[in-house]
Amino acid sequence: MDLNRKKLLENFSTKRILIPVFIGLVVIGYMFYRNNNITDLQNLKNAQPFWLVMTILVLIVRDAGYVYRIRHITEKVLTWRKSLDVIMLWEFASCVLPSVAGGSTVAAFIINKEGIPLGKSLAYVMVTAMLDNMFFLAAVPLVLFATQGDVFPDVTALPESFKAGLEIAFIISYLLIALYAMLMWYALFRNPKAVKRLFLRITSIGFLKKWRLAAYKHGNELVWASRQLKGYSFGYWSRACLSTIFVWTARYYVINCLIAAFTNIGFQDHMLIFSRNLIYKVVLLVAITPGGAGFAEIAFPTFFGKWLGSFTTVIVLLYRMVTYYLYLILGSVFLPRWVSRVFGTNVKPELEPELSTK
């Protein structure tokens, strides 16, 4: 792990926090200006209280599920308090880092600093990533069947080639995620050394050589993590899988609640909104801005505008407030307390063993 206290605080600097906030608010402000609907903020008073309350409950349930999952996966070594800190800082890292980078590296560092050996910390983070990908891979066929394939937005203002390109991009993304998930499973549970050798062979190709050192480190991490995951029971994995299904279902359902607060939608609409959310999240994976700022706001009406009408910009604002800006605020509260608790002691940190080079 290359992170330390100084590097961690650099990742969570004020500049890194304000940049995505500025980008997101500029985009939303432009949406209000372009549509000349700044007065549409008055539409907030037309929201159905039941669904607004449901939005908050779903957020609480989602985070509670994440806290339970990380505590379970770490075999309850983390207390409830420490599990909450880990999740809040993990979400915070996902908000201030580009979507393609995510917060996994930071998460492994945070778990390690909670007293869990680095090998196990890496293993736990890799397991959560693998479970998340497997949920996505399983959910897509189910929602395609439930919605009869009607998951891609039909945007009449854009050329047909846009929709076709979106479908092709999604299929390619799905296949890449499937390949990555299978590779992770094989590396963690079957033959990590073979995957390490594969990484090194791939990065021996001319233009890929600059990633050889990173591939070497990641290969070592896989070998190390694999050693930590042997011997876990069926009950351990079943709870990990069920909690993953629970948290991701709640995570996706936030948009359903917000749209239902302003528009009367039926069961089939709920299914379709949930399904399009899967596609929407894949689009955000390629965003180069921290937390997908700007991309998330622009893409939202494309996927969900069918149900929004004059409430579009208001719902975009609310959605980003409860799923993005909220976690920037919470992270800013949790981070200094966590840093003080973890680094503000006189106890020497446990020496971390070096990754195996074999």
Tell me: the pLDDT tens digits for 260-278?
988 888 888 898 899 888 8
Residue 160's CB: how many other CB atoms inside 10 A?
10
Please, which pLDDT band fits residue 357 given cuts at 50, 70 and 90? Answer: very low
Nearest to 77 by CA among 130, 123, 131: 123
pLDDT, residue 1, reads 46
**Taking 70 as the threshold, does the pLDDT of residue 356 lie above it?**
no
Please, which pLDDT band fits residue 55 given cuts at 50, 70 and 90? Answer: very high
- Alpha helices per DSSP H over 13-48: 14-35
pLDDT, residue 305, reads 80
Q: What span, in angstroms and rounded, lies between the C-alpha atoms of 227 and 243?
A: 24
98: β partners? 290
pLDDT, residue 78, reads 93
Taking residues 306-334, report their average pLDDT: 84
Q: Write down the number of H helices and E strands in the chain.
A: 14, 0
Higher pLDDT, 72 or 352: 72
**Taking 50 as the threshold, does the pLDDT of residue 339 lie above it?**
yes
Q: Is the Cα dihedral 11, 281, 100, 211 positive or negative?
A: positive
Nearest to 283 by CA among 159, 179, 152: 152
Q: Which residues contact 112 (CB under 8 A, 6 or more apart)?
A: 1, 118, 121, 352
Higher pLDDT, 64 or 109: 64
Query: Which of 50-54, 308-312, 341-345: highest mean pLDDT?
Result: 50-54
And the tokens for 355?
A: 């990754």
Question: Residue holding tokens 């995510």?
Answer: 102
pLDDT, residue 248, reads 93
Segment 127-178, tens digit of pLDDT: 998 999 999 999 988 888 877 767 777 665 556 666 677 778 788 888 988 9
**Taking 90 as the threshold, does the pLDDT of residue 28 lie above it?**
no
pLDDT, residue 354, reads 38
Q: What span, in angstroms and rounded, lies between the C-alpha atoms of 235 and 238?
A: 5
pLDDT, residue 122, reads 84
And the tokens for 203?
A: 């990065």
Q: What is the overall mean pLDDT for the chain?
A: 80
Q: What phi and psi, each to the nearest 5 degrees, are found at residue 132?
A: -60, -45
Segment 186-238, tens digit of pLDDT: 888 888 888 888 888 888 887 777 778 888 887 888 888 888 888 888 899 99
290: β partners? 98
Consecutive H or E run containing 1: none
The pTM (predicted TM-score) of the whole model is: 0.83
Please, which pLDDT band fits residue 99 given cuts at 50, 70 and 90? Answer: low
